[in-house]
Copies of this chain bind each other. A is one copy, B any other.
Amino acid sequence: MPRPSEPTRARIVQAASALFYNEGIRRVSVDEVAAKAGLTKRTLYYHFKSKDDLVAAYLAARDQPNLALFRTWFAEAEGGLSAKVEAIFKNLARSARHPKWKGCGFLRTSAELANMPGHPAIRIGAAHKKKFEDWLRATFAEHGVADPLKLARQILLLLDGSFAVVLLHRDASYMETASEAARTLIETALAKPGRKRG
């Protein structure tokens, strides 16, 4: 069945995502991914030129859905700016209590491949975090924050710190601590003079 190429590729990425996220990049062999996708390794190598390519596709597939989720949590939360940001941490805490949760796939991949600085997957991870940071910066700017970039980076640090710490201790309550810290930083930033939102 030559024609339906796209579903095959998507199925491989889906299988790779589950395995790479759950077990780690180097722990998972290309054979395992192919088996999980229900095809042979040779077929996988028809769609992806190397394992590194597959790893990059795994993270690329997570980029937009992840960002959309954060934006949804923010948009659907009641209250002011800090309450909306806190909603992200609260929802993340709920996710983190799920037994299959294993931290942030982007950060874990960058940690595992730290010896390969230019790796395509790391570039995709960096771009993903930059997009999140930029969305935060724009949002803060709309809300009249004086230095929106600085605040966006501070929140990002708390967020990624949460991922790391909660993964290490398996204690999601750190996300609520991060949430409180975020509120303090946002309120402090709002107290300083800045442009009002339009």
Indicate if the CB atoms of A114 and B106 lie closer than 8 Å: no
Q: A112, A115, A163, A168 — which one has the most chain B CB atoms within 10 A of its CB?
A: A168
CB distance from A18 to the nearest CB of B (A): 12
A 17-50 binary contact with B (CB < 8 Å = 1; else 0)? 0000011101100000000000000000000000
* A181 in contact (CB, < 8 A): yes
CB distance from A172 to the nearest CB of B (A): 13
Instruction: Please name all residues of chain B whose beta carbon is closer than 8 Å to the beta carbon of A157 when the two chains form the complex.
Output: 157-158, 161-162, 165, 174, 177-178, 181
Count contacts on A: residues with CB < 8 A to the other chain: 47
A164 closest partner in B (C-beta): B160
Q: Which of B108, B117, B160, B181 contacts A114, CB < 8 Å?
A: B108
Indicate if the CB atoms of A180 and B168 lie closer than 8 Å: no
Q: Which of B26, B117, B164 contacts A164, CB < 8 Å?
A: B164
Task: Give the CA-CA distance A181 to B182 in the complex, in Å.
Answer: 10
Indicate if the CB atoms of A150 and B107 lie closer than 8 Å: no
* A3 in contact (CB, < 8 A): no
Indicate if the CB atoms of A103 and B114 lie closer than 8 Å: yes
Task: Give the CA-CA distance A165 to B22 in the complex, in Å.
Answer: 21
CB distance from A135 to the nearest CB of B (A): 16
Instruction: Please name all residues of chain B whose beta carbon is closer than 8 Å to the beta carbon of A178 when the two chains form the complex.
Output: 154, 157
Given known contacts A22-B115, A157-B158, what 15 new A-B pairs fall within 8 Å (CB)? A23-B115, A27-B115, A108-B112, A110-B168, A122-B168, A125-B168, A129-B165, A129-B169, A154-B177, A156-B161, A156-B165, A157-B162, A157-B174, A160-B164, A161-B162
